[in-house]
Amino acid sequence: MIISGTIINVLAVVVGSSLGLLFHARLPQRFVGIIFQAIGLFTLALGMKMALGANSWLIVVLSLIAGGLTGELLRLEARFDGLATSLSRKLKTNNARFNEGL
């Protein structure tokens, strides 16, 4: 079932975000940096593995271009920033990096 992957992804993001909110303040900054670097490297490696496994590089390149142009035309970054600012106000969070994390 296709939707199960989406549900698992949403649950993983919610659990990971919750753990981050709970333990971020308790961890030394150097540990937080290492964790972020490890997650970033994993994401990069996973993306490269998926791209290398693609049957056609042209599809990968065209998909990246189409996604980038679509996001720019729909001003998705500005809309997500506005949503994050609105959520930050409603949740009354003092975390300056809330928008960046969302």
Work out the pLDDT band at 27, boundaries 50, 70, 90. confident
Residues composing the chain: 102
Q: What is the DSSP letter of 54?
A: -
Cβ–Cβ < 8 Å for 58, 64: no
Inter-CA distances, 89 with 11, 18, 94, 99, 100, Å: 24, 19, 9, 11, 15
Cβ–Cβ < 8 Å for 99, 85: yes
Question: What are the structure tokens assigned to 19, written together?
Answer: 């753990």
pLDDT in tens, 49-62: 988 887 888 888 89
pLDDT in tens, 66-78: 999 999 999 999 9
